[in-house]
Copies of this chain bind each other. A is one copy, B any other.
Amino acid sequence: MKVVILGAGNLATRLSHEMHRKGMRIAQVFSQTETSAKTLAKRLGAMPITDLSAVDTDADLYIFAVKDSILESVLQQMNTTSGLWVHTAGSIPVELLEQYHDRCGVLYPLQSFSKTREVDFSVIPVFIEAQHAEDLKMLKKISGALTERVVELTSAKRKKLHLAAVFANNFANHMYAQAASILEDEGLKFDYLVPLIDETASKIHEMHPIDAQTGPAIRYDESVIEKHIQMLTDQDSRDIYAIVSKSIHKLSQKKDE
């Protein structure tokens, strides 16, 4: 198994490390940024490249893990190869790759990666898709070496999954950021909230989030809600408070019906 990684960001870094750890050979790492290519390639025993014309044409697998915004331009500059091309993005249909290459697919690990944070890859769901049966088989094998949770998924469903992930990750994190900003205005430490954040995230291992909900919005306690909104100095925060409270209340009523 000879692999070329296109990209050297968070996802490219964690994914290629895990593949390397599992004995797959990463031959090349491409990045537009020379330092990034070199840093990652060094740790994988791979060749760093910054020019797409230098991409090996005889690899088994090409993993596109670049930013969505430059993916198409990278595809356009690719050499002709016979191996399988996969992208790693939540919201891009597999058909985009088909315009440039016959054997193509998707390998989408559902996690928020950081270059420097180790993650337990074995519990991360990896969603795969391929245009040809034998490529799907190969993707199953590769992903199965990385995680216990390999799921075949269409591009249409993957788009929805990505949307859900934006709520569960980016938007939940923004709620932490809003909380941090309220505390900082009072000279209070964000650290006070860490056990609460841990518990809220832990609860959904056992309960559906609708059943785990507590707080003033559930009962639509207008006196608390109104006072809270008045305490917020930023208009966006006020809007978020109002609309999220309304939505929590509606969802809890729907549940009780």
Residue ranges of A at the interface with B (Cβ–Cβ < 8 Å) = 10, 68-69, 91, 110-112, 114, 117, 119-120, 123-125, 149, 151, 157, 159-161, 163-183, 185-186, 188, 190, 192-201, 203-206, 208-210, 212-218, 221, 224, 227-228, 231-232, 236-237, 239-241, 243-244, 246-248, 250-251
* Bound: A201/B228 CA distance, A: 24
Contact at B231–A208, with CB atoms within 8 Å? Answer: no
Contact at A176–B186, with CB atoms within 8 Å? Answer: no
Contact at A214–B170, with CB atoms within 8 Å? Answer: yes
Looking across the interface, which residue of chain B has its beta carbon closest to that of A10?
A: B214
In the complex with contacts A166-B228, A215-B170, A224-B91, A209-B176 CB distance below 8 A: yes
Q: Is the interface of A mostly helix, strand, loop or mixed?
A: helix
Contact at B228–A110, with CB atoms within 8 Å? Answer: no
Q: List 20 A-B contacts (CB under 8 A).
A: A68-B221, A125-B192, A125-B195, A151-B192, A160-B188, A164-B188, A166-B215, A167-B175, A167-B178, A168-B176, A168-B200, A169-B199, A171-B178, A173-B203, A173-B204, A173-B212, A177-B209, A177-B213, A180-B210, A239-B243
* Bound: A133/B31 CA distance, A: 64
Contact at B170–A193, with CB atoms within 8 Å? Answer: no
A201 contact from B200, B210, B236, Cβ within 8 A: B200
Contact at A163–B228, with CB atoms within 8 Å? Answer: yes
In the complex with contacts A112-B200, A196-B169, A180-B208 CB distance below 8 A: yes
Looking across the interface, which residue of chain B has its beta carbon closest to that of A191?
A: B125
Return the 9 tightest CB-CB contacts between A and B, nearest first. A170-B215, A201-B201, A176-B209, A164-B179, A168-B179, A177-B209, A167-B179, A236-B247, A164-B182
